[in-house]
Structure 1
Amino acid sequence: MTSPTRILAPEGIAPGNGYSHVVWGTGRFVAISGQCALDEKGAVVGEGDARAQADQVFENLRRCLAAAGATFEDVVKLTYFVTDVAHLPAVRAARDAVISPDQLPASSAVQVSALFRPELLVEIEAFAVTDPADHA
Protein backbone atom coordinates (compact mmCIF):
# COMPACT_ATOMS: atom_id res chain seq x y z
CA MET A 1 0.00 0.00 0.00
CA THR A 2 1.13 3.50 -0.65
CA SER A 3 0.60 6.09 2.04
CA PRO A 4 -2.98 7.30 2.30
CA THR A 5 -3.84 10.30 0.15
CA ARG A 6 -4.80 13.31 2.25
CA ILE A 7 -6.60 16.45 1.10
CA LEU A 8 -6.50 19.13 3.77
CA ALA A 9 -9.25 21.21 2.15
CA PRO A 10 -11.05 20.46 -1.13
CA GLU A 11 -11.90 23.42 -3.30
CA GLY A 12 -14.62 25.50 -1.66
CA ILE A 13 -14.04 24.01 1.83
CA ALA A 14 -12.33 26.00 4.59
CA PRO A 15 -9.19 24.30 5.95
CA GLY A 16 -9.64 22.54 9.28
CA ASN A 17 -7.47 22.99 12.34
CA GLY A 18 -5.29 19.90 12.57
CA TYR A 19 -7.11 17.47 10.29
CA SER A 20 -7.63 16.55 6.66
CA HIS A 21 -11.12 16.82 5.20
CA VAL A 22 -10.58 13.83 2.91
CA VAL A 23 -8.34 10.76 3.29
CA TRP A 24 -8.31 7.54 1.28
CA GLY A 25 -6.11 4.56 0.71
CA THR A 26 -6.14 1.00 -0.53
CA GLY A 27 -5.33 -2.03 1.55
CA ARG A 28 -6.63 -3.80 4.63
CA PHE A 29 -9.13 -1.82 6.72
CA VAL A 30 -8.42 -1.72 10.47
CA ALA A 31 -10.95 -0.44 13.02
CA ILE A 32 -9.71 0.38 16.53
CA SER A 33 -12.36 0.54 19.24
CA GLY A 34 -12.59 3.70 21.28
CA GLN A 35 -9.65 3.85 23.66
CA CYS A 36 -9.70 5.55 27.05
CA ALA A 37 -7.01 6.43 29.56
CA LEU A 38 -6.73 2.99 31.10
CA ASP A 39 -3.46 1.22 31.81
CA GLU A 40 -2.83 -2.48 31.17
CA LYS A 41 -4.57 -3.34 34.49
CA GLY A 42 -7.64 -1.23 33.73
CA ALA A 43 -6.75 1.59 36.13
CA VAL A 44 -7.47 5.18 35.08
CA VAL A 45 -4.35 7.17 34.17
CA GLY A 46 -4.37 10.95 34.78
CA GLU A 47 -7.62 11.39 36.67
CA GLY A 48 -8.72 15.02 36.24
CA ASP A 49 -5.89 15.75 33.74
CA ALA A 50 -7.04 15.86 30.10
CA ARG A 51 -3.48 15.94 28.69
CA ALA A 52 -2.32 12.95 30.75
CA GLN A 53 -5.43 11.06 29.69
CA ALA A 54 -4.98 11.98 26.03
CA ASP A 55 -1.33 10.84 26.15
CA GLN A 56 -2.44 7.46 27.55
CA VAL A 57 -5.19 7.16 24.95
CA PHE A 58 -2.71 7.74 22.12
CA GLU A 59 -0.34 5.19 23.67
CA ASN A 60 -3.21 2.68 23.78
CA LEU A 61 -4.05 3.49 20.15
CA ARG A 62 -0.38 2.97 19.21
CA ARG A 63 -0.45 -0.47 20.84
CA CYS A 64 -3.70 -1.42 19.10
CA LEU A 65 -2.38 -0.23 15.75
CA ALA A 66 0.84 -2.20 16.26
CA ALA A 67 -1.21 -5.33 16.96
CA ALA A 68 -2.70 -4.89 13.48
CA GLY A 69 0.68 -4.18 11.87
CA ALA A 70 -0.16 -0.49 11.55
CA THR A 71 1.25 2.84 12.72
CA PHE A 72 -0.17 6.33 13.06
CA GLU A 73 0.92 6.95 9.45
CA ASP A 74 -1.76 4.44 8.40
CA VAL A 75 -4.58 6.18 10.30
CA VAL A 76 -7.19 7.66 7.99
CA LYS A 77 -9.82 8.73 10.57
CA LEU A 78 -9.93 9.63 14.26
CA THR A 79 -13.08 10.30 16.25
CA TYR A 80 -12.68 12.17 19.54
CA PHE A 81 -15.25 11.93 22.30
CA VAL A 82 -14.67 14.45 25.08
CA THR A 83 -16.74 15.28 28.14
CA ASP A 84 -15.92 18.98 27.61
CA VAL A 85 -14.74 20.67 24.40
CA ALA A 86 -12.31 22.60 26.63
CA HIS A 87 -10.24 19.36 26.60
CA LEU A 88 -9.62 19.58 22.84
CA PRO A 89 -6.38 21.62 23.09
CA ALA A 90 -4.92 18.88 25.34
CA VAL A 91 -6.10 16.20 22.92
CA ARG A 92 -4.59 18.07 19.96
CA ALA A 93 -1.27 18.46 21.79
CA ALA A 94 -1.17 14.72 22.51
CA ARG A 95 -2.07 14.00 18.88
CA ASP A 96 0.62 16.34 17.59
CA ALA A 97 3.20 14.46 19.68
CA VAL A 98 2.54 11.26 17.68
CA ILE A 99 1.12 12.33 14.31
CA SER A 100 3.10 14.44 11.88
CA PRO A 101 1.37 17.56 10.49
CA ASP A 102 1.72 16.11 6.97
CA GLN A 103 -0.01 12.86 8.03
CA LEU A 104 -3.19 14.35 9.50
CA PRO A 105 -6.16 11.99 9.30
CA ALA A 106 -9.77 12.99 8.83
CA SER A 107 -11.38 13.58 12.22
CA SER A 108 -14.50 14.41 14.14
CA ALA A 109 -14.86 15.73 17.69
CA VAL A 110 -17.98 15.18 19.76
CA GLN A 111 -18.79 16.45 23.24
CA VAL A 112 -20.59 13.78 25.24
CA SER A 113 -22.32 14.03 28.60
CA ALA A 114 -20.28 11.14 30.04
CA LEU A 115 -18.05 8.21 29.18
CA PHE A 116 -18.39 4.73 30.68
CA ARG A 117 -16.52 5.74 33.88
CA PRO A 118 -16.96 9.17 35.47
CA GLU A 119 -13.19 9.75 35.83
CA LEU A 120 -12.65 9.51 32.08
CA LEU A 121 -12.47 12.72 30.03
CA VAL A 122 -11.42 11.46 26.57
CA GLU A 123 -12.12 8.49 24.29
CA ILE A 124 -10.71 8.15 20.78
CA GLU A 125 -11.42 5.60 18.06
CA ALA A 126 -9.32 5.13 14.93
CA PHE A 127 -9.63 3.71 11.43
CA ALA A 128 -6.51 2.77 9.48
CA VAL A 129 -5.62 1.21 6.14
CA THR A 130 -2.59 -1.11 5.98
CA ASP A 131 -0.84 -3.04 3.25
CA PRO A 132 -2.41 -6.51 3.08
CA ALA A 133 0.94 -7.92 1.93
CA ASP A 134 2.28 -7.19 5.43
CA HIS A 135 -0.09 -9.87 6.76
CA ALA A 136 0.14 -12.57 4.11
Structure 2
Amino acid sequence: MTTEPGRKTAHLTHIAEPPGVAPGTGYTQVVTGTGRLVAVSGQVAFDEERRLVGTGDPKAQARQIFENIRRCLAAAGADFSDLVKLTYFLTDIGHLPAVREARDEFFGDIPLPTSSAMQVSALFMPEVLIEIEALAVVPE
Protein backbone atom coordinates (compact mmCIF):
# COMPACT_ATOMS: atom_id res chain seq x y z
CA MET A 1 0.00 0.00 0.00
CA THR A 2 1.45 3.36 -0.98
CA THR A 3 0.25 6.90 -0.70
CA GLU A 4 0.63 9.69 -3.17
CA PRO A 5 2.89 12.64 -2.31
CA GLY A 6 0.79 15.26 -0.54
CA ARG A 7 -2.39 13.11 -0.39
CA LYS A 8 -4.96 14.77 1.89
CA THR A 9 -7.44 12.95 4.07
CA ALA A 10 -9.84 15.45 5.64
CA HIS A 11 -7.67 17.21 8.26
CA LEU A 12 -4.41 15.31 7.55
CA THR A 13 -1.85 15.52 4.77
CA HIS A 14 0.26 12.44 4.00
CA ILE A 15 3.63 13.11 2.36
CA ALA A 16 4.96 9.78 1.15
CA GLU A 17 8.05 11.12 -0.62
CA PRO A 18 9.49 14.35 0.79
CA PRO A 19 12.08 15.85 -1.58
CA GLY A 20 15.48 14.24 -1.07
CA VAL A 21 14.16 11.40 1.16
CA ALA A 22 13.86 7.80 0.00
CA PRO A 23 10.23 6.63 -0.17
CA GLY A 24 9.10 4.37 2.66
CA THR A 25 7.78 0.87 2.19
CA GLY A 26 4.63 0.17 4.20
CA TYR A 27 4.38 3.60 5.83
CA THR A 28 4.22 7.33 5.09
CA GLN A 29 7.28 9.51 5.72
CA VAL A 30 5.40 12.58 7.05
CA VAL A 31 1.86 13.26 8.26
CA THR A 32 0.74 16.76 9.20
CA GLY A 33 -2.60 17.93 10.47
CA THR A 34 -4.59 20.05 12.84
CA GLY A 35 -6.91 19.03 15.66
CA ARG A 36 -6.98 17.24 19.00
CA LEU A 37 -4.18 14.77 19.80
CA VAL A 38 -5.22 11.25 20.81
CA ALA A 39 -2.51 8.99 22.31
CA VAL A 40 -3.26 5.27 22.54
CA SER A 41 -1.15 3.38 25.04
CA GLY A 42 0.76 0.33 23.85
CA GLN A 43 -1.76 -2.40 23.06
CA VAL A 44 -1.15 -6.13 23.24
CA ALA A 45 -3.33 -9.05 22.17
CA PHE A 46 -5.59 -9.14 25.22
CA ASP A 47 -9.33 -9.55 24.72
CA GLU A 48 -11.83 -7.63 26.85
CA GLU A 49 -11.37 -10.15 29.69
CA ARG A 50 -7.56 -9.83 29.64
CA ARG A 51 -7.05 -13.22 28.00
CA LEU A 52 -4.20 -13.40 25.52
CA VAL A 53 -5.40 -14.04 21.96
CA GLY A 54 -3.14 -15.95 19.55
CA THR A 55 -0.50 -17.53 21.75
CA GLY A 56 2.47 -18.21 19.46
CA ASP A 57 0.67 -16.68 16.43
CA PRO A 58 1.93 -13.20 15.50
CA LYS A 59 -0.80 -12.53 12.92
CA ALA A 60 -3.60 -13.45 15.37
CA GLN A 61 -1.99 -11.26 18.00
CA ALA A 62 -1.66 -8.38 15.53
CA ARG A 63 -5.32 -8.67 14.52
CA GLN A 64 -6.40 -8.47 18.16
CA ILE A 65 -4.10 -5.52 18.74
CA PHE A 66 -5.54 -3.60 15.78
CA GLU A 67 -9.05 -4.40 17.03
CA ASN A 68 -8.05 -3.01 20.44
CA ILE A 69 -6.62 0.11 18.79
CA ARG A 70 -9.83 0.50 16.77
CA ARG A 71 -11.86 0.37 19.99
CA CYS A 72 -9.56 2.83 21.77
CA LEU A 73 -9.75 5.25 18.86
CA ALA A 74 -13.55 4.95 18.75
CA ALA A 75 -13.73 5.78 22.47
CA ALA A 76 -11.92 9.04 21.65
CA GLY A 77 -14.09 9.83 18.62
CA ALA A 78 -11.39 8.76 16.15
CA ASP A 79 -10.73 6.00 13.63
CA PHE A 80 -7.81 4.63 11.61
CA SER A 81 -8.02 7.52 9.13
CA ASP A 82 -7.01 9.85 11.99
CA LEU A 83 -3.77 7.98 12.81
CA VAL A 84 -0.53 9.87 12.33
CA LYS A 85 1.93 7.42 13.97
CA LEU A 86 2.20 3.74 14.86
CA THR A 87 5.10 2.34 16.88
CA TYR A 88 5.67 -1.41 16.74
CA PHE A 89 7.56 -3.35 19.40
CA LEU A 90 8.29 -6.91 18.26
CA THR A 91 10.09 -9.70 20.08
CA ASP A 92 11.12 -10.94 16.62
CA ILE A 93 11.41 -8.49 13.71
CA GLY A 94 10.44 -11.45 11.52
CA HIS A 95 6.86 -10.89 12.75
CA LEU A 96 6.65 -7.56 10.89
CA PRO A 97 5.10 -9.03 7.69
CA ALA A 98 2.30 -10.59 9.78
CA VAL A 99 1.74 -7.26 11.53
CA ARG A 100 1.54 -5.44 8.20
CA GLU A 101 -0.93 -8.01 6.82
CA ALA A 102 -3.19 -7.55 9.85
CA ARG A 103 -2.81 -3.76 9.65
CA ASP A 104 -3.81 -3.76 5.99
CA GLU A 105 -6.99 -5.71 6.84
CA PHE A 106 -8.04 -2.84 9.12
CA PHE A 107 -6.79 0.06 6.99
CA GLY A 108 -8.07 -0.94 3.57
CA ASP A 109 -7.24 1.99 1.29
CA ILE A 110 -6.73 4.52 4.11
CA PRO A 111 -3.36 6.28 3.75
CA LEU A 112 -0.81 4.75 6.09
CA PRO A 113 0.51 6.76 9.05
CA THR A 114 4.16 7.25 9.89
CA SER A 115 5.66 4.33 11.79
CA SER A 116 8.65 2.91 13.58
CA ALA A 117 9.37 -0.75 14.20
CA MET A 118 11.87 -2.17 16.63
CA GLN A 119 12.83 -5.57 17.88
CA VAL A 120 12.91 -5.76 21.67
CA SER A 121 14.45 -8.50 23.79
CA ALA A 122 11.19 -9.07 25.68
CA LEU A 123 7.81 -7.61 26.51
CA PHE A 124 6.11 -7.83 29.92
CA MET A 125 4.92 -11.45 29.37
CA PRO A 126 6.87 -14.09 27.44
CA GLU A 127 3.74 -15.05 25.42
CA VAL A 128 3.23 -11.47 24.21
CA LEU A 129 4.98 -11.16 20.84
CA ILE A 130 3.88 -7.66 19.79
CA GLU A 131 2.93 -4.33 21.32
CA ILE A 132 1.71 -1.37 19.26
CA GLU A 133 1.12 2.21 20.35
CA ALA A 134 -0.67 4.84 18.28
CA LEU A 135 -1.05 8.60 17.89
CA ALA A 136 -4.00 10.19 16.14
CA VAL A 137 -5.13 13.70 15.40
CA VAL A 138 -8.90 14.25 15.44
CA PRO A 139 -10.50 17.32 13.87
CA GLU A 140 -11.87 19.80 16.41
- Determine if the TM-score, normalized by the shorter chain, exceeds 0.5: yes
Q: Which runs of 5+ in 2 are unaligned?
A: 1-8
- Paired residues of 1:2 and 1:25 also in contact (CA < 8 A): no
AA partner of residue 39 (structure 2):
A
Q: CA deviation at 1:17?
A: 1.0
| Residue 102 (structure 1) shift | 4.7
Mapped partners of 1:25, 1:97: distance in 2: 24
State the match for 2:33 in structure 1: 25
Aligned to 2:93: 85
TM-score by length of 1: 0.93
User: By how many angstroms is 1:118 displaced?
Assistant: 0.6
Aligned with 2:98: secondary structure?
helix
In 2: Cα distance, 1:131 partner to 1:102 partner? 17
Distance 2:32 2:109 in 1: 17
Q: Residue 5 of structure 2 corresponds to which residue in structure 1?
A: none
Partner of 1:73: 81
Say whether residues 1:98 and 2:109 are aligned partners.
Answer: no
Correspondent of 2:53 among 34, 42, 45? 45
Letter in 2 for 1:46: G
Q: How much does 1:6 deviate?
A: 0.4
Q: 2:69 aligns with which of 61, 70, 81?
A: 61
CA distance in structure 2 between the partners assigned to 1:115 and 1:99 by the alignment:
26
Separation (CA, whole Å) in 2 of partners of 1:102 and 1:9: 17
Helix, strand or coil for the counterpart of 2:107?
coil
Identity %: 62
C-alpha separation between the residues in 2 aligned to 1:5 and 1:39? 33
Q: For the Cα contact (< 8 Å) 1:18–1:101, is it kept in 2?
A: no
Instruction: Quote the Cα distance in structure 2 between the aligned partners of 1:102 and 1:48.
Output: 29
* Offset at residue 9 of structure 1 (A): 1.6
Aligned residues: 132
Residues 70-102 of structure 1: per-residue CA shift (max 9 Å, x gap): 000000000000000000000000111111345
Give yes or no for contact 2:11–2:139 (8 Å, CA) kept in 1.
no
